[in-house]
Amino acid sequence: MAQPPPPSSPPRAQTSPGPAKVGAVPNRRLGSVRGVPMSSPPGRRARLSSPGTGRSSSETREELRRRLLGLIEGNRVMIFSKSYCPHSTRVKELFSSLGVECHILELDQVDDGASVQEVLSEITNQRTVPNIFVNKVHVGGCEQTFQAHQSGVLEKLLQGDSAYDYDLIVIGGGSGGLACAQEAAVLGKKVMVLDFVVPSPQGTSWGLGGTCVNVGCIPKKLMHQAALLGQALIDSRKFGWEYNQQVKHNWETMTEAIQNHIGSLNWGYRLSLREKAVAYVNSYGEFVEHHKIKATNRKGQETCYTAAKFVIATGERPRYLGIQGDKEYCITSDDLFSLPYCPGKTLVVGASYVALECAGFLAGLGLDVTVMVRSILLRGFDQEMAEKVGSYMEQHGVKFLRKFVPIQQLEKGSPGKLRVVAESTEGPGAVEGVYNTVLLAIGRDSCTRKIGLEKIGVKINEKSGKIPVNDVEQTNVPYVYAIGDILEGKLELTPVAIQAGKLLARRLFGGRLEKCDYVNVPTTVFTPLEYGCCGLSEEKAIEVHTKENLEVYHTLFWPLEWTVAGRDNNTCYAKIICNKFDNERVVGFHILGPNAGEVTQGFAAAMKCGLTKQLLDDTIGIHPTCGEVWKEKTFLKLTSVDVV
Amino acid sequence: EERREMPPTGQEGRECPLRGVRGGCGSGRQGYDLLVIGGGSGGLACAKEAAQLGKKVAVVDYVEPSPRGTRWGLGGTCVNVGCIPKKLMHQAALLGDMIRDAPHYGWEVPPLVPHDWKKMAEAVQNHVKSLNWGHRVQLQDRKVKYFNIKASFVNEHMVCGVTKDGKETLLSAEHIVIATGGRPRYPTHIEGALEYGITSDDIFWLKESPGKTPPLADVALECAGFLTGLGLDATVMVRSIPLRGFDQQMSSLVTEYMASHGTRFLRGCTPSRVGRLPDGQLQVIWEDLASGKKDVGTFDTVLWAIGRVPETRSLHLENAGVNTHPNSQKILVDAGEATSVPHIYAIGDVAEGRPELTPPAVMAGKLLARRLCGQSSDLMDYDNVPTTVFTPLEYGCVGLSEEEAVARHGEEHVEVYHAYYKPLEFTVAERDASQCYIKMVCLREPPQLVLGLHFLGPNAGEVTQGFALGIKCGASYAQVMRTLGIHPTCAEEVAKLRITKRSG
């Protein structure tokens, strides 16, 4: 998480507040918010400061924040300044020469100047003074103000809201971007969404809605459902349904049905933007200068738009191996869901959740599937669970090639066949295989390198391409925000992006303060045996709380539906990780079984409410469900088993 | 039949029937520390827990055959003629839906797939029998004496048991727990009801398909639901409202869904006579209560599901001085499950005012055993018990219904958040989702404490369970809204409820 580092050469004004000076406040109205320093009685001074501690508690901090936002919103020109700062003086002189009345708060003359400065830096990502707002728009410091003056932007800003074409431009029409844009529009803002899908190397492209809708959650879950139905067909005979013939699967029928559904969702998004009067432009967005973006459409026509604020929500695209032939012969999840033919014998490269989910449903549809894994499965997830996910897949026909990396080129063999040569990561030993399809799922790269961020100085992590933001999703350039998969150190999940986008719009335009809470976000991996989790993995829990402080409870369970179906009785598994020294509070929840997503959701809500082991024990189960697994007699402590 | 699998373990009681009589009374040394009457979920849980905590425990269980002669093994209603077979048959019906979905997802399934009742019933019954066996083994493992006898009180510390062959056994105990449950009610005033009708005691054990069936209320809806799902012609005859006691908006959506999926409903009707026709079919004559008009129809099976009566009549409770409710005949209990006689307790369906559900009976049994053994003083909390009705579209709920919330807090203090939603799986399958609906009943005043959650849709039980925990933790509307969804699931819709009923 990226609280930007303090500037390299802080102006003098940054030093701790000195004693109040006479005559430094040119604005008479200041007293209404936090006083004309000399005349304000000691009692009033305490309003902004928290006596004794020197550090504001979270409540007074929120109050302070609200007060500052009030100042910003309530004044045509608001300058946060320090009386002895020469840069501040220059700015005051500038506005004075323009004949514009300013509202000034001298941070060195109020008791809580340091707190004000901290909160300001949260709001604007700028620590230094002067910090200038014109008509609620954050202009920046001294230099930016003079720049704005020279370019005429300051003039426009002073005139009112017409300085920019839009209040907000969102780059990227995925879940997060659309949520943010619509919320801002609902709050009465003039909003534009730029969305453009660069075709995959195989030529696949899609409509509005981003990864989730087009090449992620939605088609994946539907193909997973198709595979589950295949299992249901097998089960159904045990439950008395009678048919003899081998049931075959038709890839084209499924894909067409799924693509039709996606088409209707794309259309729905267009409609919804139109209803909310959000301008939608199907063009590729690229910053060209501050507050200005160039939009290039399919035909190469360029149009420029300006906005007071920007939200980057461009998401990610699948990574390629960087070996000869990969872009030519391999497909990725971008292509799979709309593949016009059945992929046949498939090699899946990678062990991400995308890799395992795709391998899982392909196998479930009756295909011959091999997964090539370099090191561990489901990095970042609980490794015990990850291994169980993998071994269930292995028992159900998915082949795993562990510790192999494809190193040689993929050669085109006889039509529709690909030869893959891979080498072991542990010493010599190569493996060669022939497949109809090679699906790469080795990770995803942020779409942040070709959108002109360098032109306006938005920092990205050069290695990962991700954008660091503070806890209000603000980049190092104060008017530019980022949400979704491109954020550094945040979760790559649709509901997270949606929530972050909505809350961001409400903070920016609705006077709200609520921040996106990235803690205890539940998720589910839709592998053949679904894996739902919320909170910490066991590894992470040990790292955070140390092993001695944890109690792990776990059990195997056998879903009632599996009994008659004759399915494995030692496969479904659940565990919770509790902090012994915090009232056995549940810090991690993991379940492997049917409908894991449906089960996990409510537990996530319970964890938000401070779920403890005791409460888990006290809650009555619903019989017979998988959710009641916590009531099993065998629900034992794991750590004590470990010790024995 | 399923009784003979294991040698009787209660030898001691059989050989010396009178041993316990005098010695046992008062001292309890020659009898048992704890005697549990009824080997259902609650009774077994209580017995096992007490035995584990070192008590000398006996369980007596006897299944009086149903009027149709159906009988079953150890484990009570849930295992034999309740939750377990019901959910499995429900699953069979759901699989039928999935077979119909499968072609939309590319599976080349033949268009009409017939269902073999016999095969399903056998598979279900085999599973139930394995559970019966499991319960026997668990009792043996924990050194709980098991007697397959029909019990009645001799005095407040002594129980007389009669075997199938009429042999008597006397047992005495310091503490006695009554967990005899209930059995389906027959409308004995209706001519032919007992003779030709069956109940849920029989349906799961039928060797042959019940054919065209009218189940005559929640058990009724579940049975009618899976029967329809298995391709049978099912009609539900309801006198007044289905799913009494549940949220009425939800229950009407449940029946609406069923009606649109082929279950026929005869509302406001009451049967007056059942007779057998020469061809073996059953003729039912009923009356429309509003118009007074009589109507007639023929069916293969008539299933009564008009409620349950507690199994208290043959217990001779008066010999022990245990009081029952004059109307319900259920045993009156206090918060610690004690009856009017302090060392005699009642748990589960037989106790007055308790939810007729397996998990609360199990928990009440365990907690009672722990209190009796001095392990804890925790009382059973009967508030916010979650439950699920396994109708074709499942209905899960926890906490208060909207009606109850309004009754307790007043309409102006209740805020109801609600939404219709479409499960992702329904889209491609082109299924109708008009009844997929969620509502959360909250207090209106911030932080808007959640009073009840009602969920109608696939896997409702799985969805409801976690939220029940949340409500136990004192969840507020704001907290639920701060929970991020799991995409794409049905459960995430709960975390997205924004519209209030008040707003229209």
- By CA distance, what is A499's nearest residue in B? B484
Residue pair B417/B452 in contact (Cβ under 8 Å)? The answer is no
Among the partner-chain residues A261, A521, A532, the one whose CB lies closest to the CB of B428 is: A261
Residue pair B62/B39 in contact (Cβ under 8 Å)? The answer is no
Annotated catalytic residue: which of A87, A103, A224, A623? A623
Look at residue B465 and give its three-state secondary structure. Answer: helix
Chain B, 440 to 459: residues with Cβ < 8 Å from chain A are 459
Given a cut of 70, is residue A40 above it in pLDDT?
Answer: no
Using alpha carbons only, give the angle B354, B360, B366 rounded to the nearest 5 degrees: 115
Mean pLDDT over the full length of chain B: 91
Continuous segment of H or E residues that includes residue B288? strand B282-288
How far B127 CA sits from the closest chain A CA (Å)? Answer: 7
pLDDT at residue number A244: 75
| Residue B328 vs residues B116, B314, B332, B349: alpha-carbon distances, Å | 40, 15, 10, 11
End-to-end CA distance of chain B: 59
Could you give the CA distance from residue A608 to residue A522 in angstroms, rounded to a whole number? 11
Judge: A253–B106 Cβ closer than 8 Å, yes or no.
yes
Is residue B114 within 8 angstroms of chain A, CB to CB?
Answer: yes
Radius of gyration of chain B (CA): 24
- By CA distance, what is B107's nearest residue in A? A249
**Which of the four pLDDT bands, split at 50, 70 and 90, describes residue A70?**
confident
Could you give the CA distance from residue A226 to residue A232 in angstroms, rounded to a whole number? 10
Residue pair A212/A174 in contact (Cβ under 8 Å)? The answer is yes
Contacts of A79 (CB under 8 A, 6+ apart): A88, A91, A92, A95, A102, A103, A104, A105, A130, A131, A132, A133
Is residue B106 within 8 angstroms of chain A, CB to CB?
Answer: yes
Structure confidence by residue, pLDDT tens digits, B446-482: 999 999 999 999 999 999 999 999 999 999 999 999 9
Is residue B200 within 8 angstroms of chain A, CB to CB?
Answer: no
Q: Active-site residue B157, yes or no? A: no
Residues B60-80 have a mean pLDDT of 95
DSSP track, A237-257: HHTTB---SPPPB-HHHHHHH
**Which of the four pLDDT bands, split at 50, 70 and 90, describes residue B44?**
very high
For tokens 């100085």, the residue is A457
Mean pLDDT over the full length of chain A: 85
Given a cut of 70, is residue A39 above it in pLDDT?
Answer: no
Residue pair B495/B486 in contact (Cβ under 8 Å)? The answer is no
Bridge partners of B282, per DSSP, are: B276, B299
Judge: B424–A221 Cβ closer than 8 Å, yes or no.
yes
pLDDT at residue number A565: 86
Residue pair A437/A444 in contact (Cβ under 8 Å)? The answer is no
ipTM of this complex prediction, to 2 decimal places: 0.89
For residue A609, the 8-state DSSP code is T
The answer to whether the peptide bond before residue A478 is cis (omega within 30 degrees of 0) is no
How far B128 CA sits from the closest chain A CA (Å)? Answer: 10
pLDDT at residue number A34: 35
Could you give the CA distance from residue B159 to residue B150 in angstroms, rounded to a whole number? 10
Judge: B467–A522 Cβ closer than 8 Å, yes or no.
no
Structure confidence by residue, pLDDT tens digits, B18-28: 333 433 333 33
B496 is in an annotated binding site: no
Look at residue A550 and give its three-state secondary structure. Answer: strand
Chain B residues close to A249, C-beta within 8 Å: 106-108
- Per-residue burial over A39-61, b = 16 or more CB atoms within 10 Å of its CB, e = otherwise: ebeeeebebbbbeeeeebeeebb
Given a cut of 60, is residue A32 above it in pLDDT?
Answer: no
**Which of the four pLDDT bands, split at 50, 70 and 90, describes residue A49?**
very low
Residue pair A278/A194 in contact (Cβ under 8 Å)? The answer is no
Among the partner-chain residues A254, A517, A624, the one whose CB lies closest to the CB of B84 is: A624
| Residue A307 vs residues A170, A187, A317, B217: alpha-carbon distances, Å | 10, 16, 26, 62
Judge: B495–A599 Cβ closer than 8 Å, yes or no.
no
Could you give the CA distance from residue B5 to residue B456 in angstroms, rounded to a whole number? 42
Residue pair B487/A216 in contact (Cβ under 8 Å)? The answer is no
Continuous segment of H or E residues that includes residue B94? helix B83-101
| Residue A604 vs residues A179, A283, A539, B6: alpha-carbon distances, Å | 22, 38, 19, 45
Chain A residues close to B88, C-beta within 8 Å: 239, 560-561, 563-564
Of the candidates B207, B226, B204, which has an alpha carbon nearest to the alpha carbon of residue B96?
A: B226
B307 is in an annotated binding site: yes
Judge: A563–B83 Cβ closer than 8 Å, yes or no.
no
Q: Which amino acid, residue B391? A: T
B87 is in an annotated binding site: yes
- Residue B397 tokens, joined: 């709920």
Chain A residues close to B467, C-beta within 8 Å: 601-602, 605-606
Could you give the CA distance from residue A420 to residue B76 in angstroms, rounded to a whole number? 60
Q: What share of chain A has pLDDT > 70, as a percent?
A: 86
**Which of the four pLDDT bands, split at 50, 70 and 90, describes residue A47?**
very low
Could you give the CA distance from residue A376 to residue B49 in angstroms, rounded to a whole number? 43
- Residue B174 tokens, joined: 């310091």
Judge: B474–A609 Cβ closer than 8 Å, yes or no.
yes
Residue pair B442/B417 in contact (Cβ under 8 Å)? The answer is yes
Structure confidence by residue, pLDDT tens digits, A425-476: 777 778 888 899 999 999 999 999 999 999 999 999 999 999 999 999 999 9
pLDDT at residue number A58: 60
Q: In A242-315, where do the E strands start and end?
A: 279-281, 284-289, 292-296, 302-312
Is residue B234 within 8 angstroms of chain A, CB to CB?
Answer: no
- Per-residue burial over B222-234, b = 16 or more CB atoms within 10 Å of its CB, e = otherwise: bbbbbbbbbbbeb
- Laid out side by side, the sheet with B294-299 consists of B269-276, B282-288, B294-299
- Per-residue burial over A80-105, b = 16 or more CB atoms within 10 Å of its CB, e = otherwise: bbbbbbebbbebbebbeeeeeebbbb
For tokens 């034999």, the residue is B80
pLDDT at residue number B183: 96
What are the start-end ranges of the H helices in B102-247?
117-141, 193-196, 200-203, 219-229
Could you give the CA distance from residue A301 to residue A283 in angstroms, rounded to a whole number? 9
Could you give the CA distance from residue B88 to residue B128 in angstroms, rounded to a whole number? 10
Among the partner-chain residues B105, B388, B472, the one whose CB lies closest to the CB of A622 is: B388
Could you give the CA distance from residue A146 to residue A237 in angstroms, rounded to a whole number? 78
How far A13 CA sits from the closest chain B CA (Å)? Answer: 40
Judge: B479–A626 Cβ closer than 8 Å, yes or no.
no
Number of Cβ within a 10 Å radius of residue B118: 12
Q: Which residue has the higher pLDDT, A124 or B422?
A: B422
Continuous segment of H or E residues that includes residue A359? helix A353-364
**Which of the four pLDDT bands, split at 50, 70 and 90, describes residue B205?**
very high
pLDDT at residue number A112: 86
* pTM strictly above 0.80: yes
How far B193 CA sits from the closest chain A CA (Å)? Answer: 30
Residue pair A518/A491 in contact (Cβ under 8 Å)? The answer is yes
**Which of the four pLDDT bands, split at 50, 70 and 90, describes residue B240?**
confident
Contacts of A367 (CB under 8 A, 6+ apart): A342, A343, A344, A345, A346
Of the candidates B197, B210, B215, which has an alpha carbon nearest to the alpha carbon of residue B264?
A: B215
Residue pair A467/A461 in contact (Cβ under 8 Å)? The answer is yes
pLDDT at residue number A472: 93
Judge: B95–A261 Cβ closer than 8 Å, yes or no.
no
Structure confidence by residue, pLDDT tens digits, B82-108: 999 999 999 999 999 999 999 999 999
- Residue A637 tokens, joined: 């402590």
Among the partner-chain residues A599, A620, A627, the one whose CB lies closest to the CB of B363 is: A620
Q: Which residue has the higher pLDDT, A42 or B269?
A: B269
How far A105 CA sits from the closest chain B CA (Å)? Answer: 36
pLDDT at residue number A411: 64
Judge: B492–A601 Cβ closer than 8 Å, yes or no.
yes
Contacts of B315 (CB under 8 A, 6+ apart): B37, B151, B152, B153, B178, B180, B322
How far B30 CA sits from the closest chain A CA (Å)? Answer: 31
Annotated catalytic residue: which of B104, B261, B316, B487? B487
For tokens 């066996």, the residue is B133
Could you give the CA distance from residue A605 to residue B493 in angstroms, rounded to a whole number? 12
- By CA distance, what is B396's nearest residue in A? A622
pLDDT at residue number A59: 58
Q: Which residue has the higher pLDDT, A249 or B10?
A: A249
Residues B427-432 have a mean pLDDT of 91
Of A146-155, A176-185, B38-47, B149-158, the least confident: A146-155
Look at residue A573 and give its three-state secondary structure. Answer: strand
Judge: B480–A608 Cβ closer than 8 Å, yes or no.
yes
How far B148 CA sits from the closest chain A CA (Å)? Answer: 25
Is residue B206 within 8 angstroms of chain A, CB to CB?
Answer: no
Is residue B115 within 8 angstroms of chain A, CB to CB?
Answer: yes
Chain A residues close to B98, C-beta within 8 Å: 229, 232-233, 236
Is residue B388 within 8 angstroms of chain A, CB to CB?
Answer: yes
Is residue B110 within 8 angstroms of chain A, CB to CB?
Answer: yes
- By CA distance, what is A514's nearest residue in B? B482
How far A377 CA sits from the closest chain B CA (Å)? Answer: 21
pLDDT at residue number A42: 37
Could you give the CA distance from residue B405 to residue A420 in angstroms, rounded to a whole number? 64
Judge: A257–B91 Cβ closer than 8 Å, yes or no.
no
Structure confidence by residue, pLDDT tens digits, A152-197: 888 888 876 557 899 999 999 999 999 999 999 999 999 999 999 9
Chain A residues close to B385, C-beta within 8 Å: 620
CA A513 to chain centre: 19
Radius of gyration of chain A (CA): 29
Of the candidates A378, A323, A307, which has an alpha carbon nearest to the alpha carbon of residue A527?
A: A378
Residue pair B115/A240 in contact (Cβ under 8 Å)? The answer is yes
pLDDT at residue number A397: 94
Chain B residues close to A221, C-beta within 8 Å: 424-425, 488
pLDDT at residue number B289: 92
Chain B, 132 to 191: residues with Cβ < 8 Å from chain A are none
Look at residue B8 and give its three-state secondary structure. Answer: coil
Judge: A624–B83 Cβ closer than 8 Å, yes or no.
yes
